[in-house]
Structure 1
Amino acid sequence: MPWFTLERFDPSFFDTAPHRYAYVLDLPVTPEAVWRGLAGDAPLSWCRGLAGGRYTSRPPHGVGTTREITAMRLLRLREEFVRWEEGSRHSFCVTSASLPLFRRFGEDYLVEPTPTGTRFTWTFAFEPNPLLARPAALTDLPNRSFLRTLVADTKRHFGAA
């Protein structure tokens, strides 16, 4: 299978990306429970659209940690963490993908305690492959639909309404 290299970036991309979607989820569980699900051995295993999430570097995990995951059964992603604040936040950039959809893509996970559990802010940031920049508007609805599925699965997993 061919791999396509994506441009690396630092955490500032999550504020400047041409396409950015942030979802705020109030979850009725502890921040520790949310963090274990995001950073544990089987990250995001409850999401129907994701499979095979696994770390490809040894613990302890931090900046520079690498991971692989498959989205929608056909898009394989290799990720590298560019921020890791144990227990509260981590962010990665995709370094290569099995399809040439993106120039840059990454996710940021922010976990904050609340009086009733946890506020989890999940941010997706990307820049399409320049060849797909114009038709990116045509794919925006499917992208948002897929992201909403991930969010719904996460709410269901953690028992949120």
Structure 2
Amino acid sequence: MARSYPLEAIDLDFFDTAPITYRIDVNLPVSPRRAWAELTRQNTLDWCRAIKSIEFTSPPPYGVGTTRKASLGPGFAGLSEHFFVWDTDETTGNYRNAFHAVTASTPGLRRFGELTEIRPADVGCRLIWLFALELATSAKAVTAFSGPTASTVFKTVETDTVRHFATLAPQT
């Protein structure tokens, strides 16, 4: 069993104040509801080369307090995640969730979180995906989360996500 390193919790302000952030901001050719369903299903992000697996460890329906495990691509890290925001408004087509990593299998992270927002767009929807982190040390083990390696990984996630949603039939 891999060693697990505890991380500090975050709040929404961390996405504005974190020392390291990444932002994916794209339009997707599907309805907000369809995008949300894809991003919140069991085994989501299976279309991303940089992600080995995502598994919800809480039963549906998902909401604040939901937990999940993520295994990132070869040699990166495993995370246990706790959702502290989960807002859905099917009437307006606005969806949002955020989690912080409780533990990571890679040492050197102090805090890590993701904020996902989906909004209606003129065509389809807009996905805004924020990643925020703070390193505990300058350990080489955390290069997967910062610097050129991380930029490449996040760009791959963006490219794979846009490609995946382009293959889905537009739905209302």
Gap runs ≥5 in structure 2: 90-94, 168-172
Matched with 1:77 is 79
CA distance in 1: counterparts of 2:158 and 2:48, whole angstroms: 8
CA distance in 1: counterparts of 2:136 and 2:71, whole angstroms: 19
Note if 1:145 corresponds to 2:158.
no
Aligned partner of 2:116 among 98, 109, 114: 109
Amino acid at match of 1:101: G
Q: Secondary structure in 2 aligned to 1:48?
A: coil
CA distance in 2: counterparts of 1:131 and 1:144, whole angstroms: 17
RMSD (Å) for aligned C-alpha atoms: 2.0
CA distance in 2: counterparts of 1:82 and 1:15, whole angstroms: 16
CA distance in 1: counterparts of 2:20 and 2:46, whole angstroms: 25
If the length of structure 2 is used for normalisation, what is the TM-score? 0.85
Q: Secondary structure in 2 aligned to 1:21?
A: strand
CA distance in 2: counterparts of 1:111 and 1:45, whole angstroms: 19
Aligned partner of 1:128 among 127, 135, 138: 135
Amino acid at match of 2:49: R
Amino acid at match of 1:3: S
**Counterparts of residues 86-101 of structure 1 (less than 5 Å):** 86=88, 88-101=95-108
Amino acid at match of 1:76: G
CA distance in 2: counterparts of 1:24 and 1:109, whole angstroms: 10
Gap runs ≥5 in structure 1: none
Q: How many residues align?
A: 158
- 1:63 positional shift: 1.0
Contact 2:99 2:114 in 1 (8 A): yes
If the length of structure 1 is used for normalisation, what is the TM-score? 0.91
- 1:55 positional shift: 0.7
CA distance in 2: counterparts of 1:141 and 1:131, whole angstroms: 15
Point out 4+ residue stretches in structure 1 off by more than 4 angstroms. none
CA distance in 2: counterparts of 1:34 and 1:46, whole angstroms: 13
Q: Secondary structure in 2 aligned to 1:130?
A: coil
Identity of aligned residues (%): 36
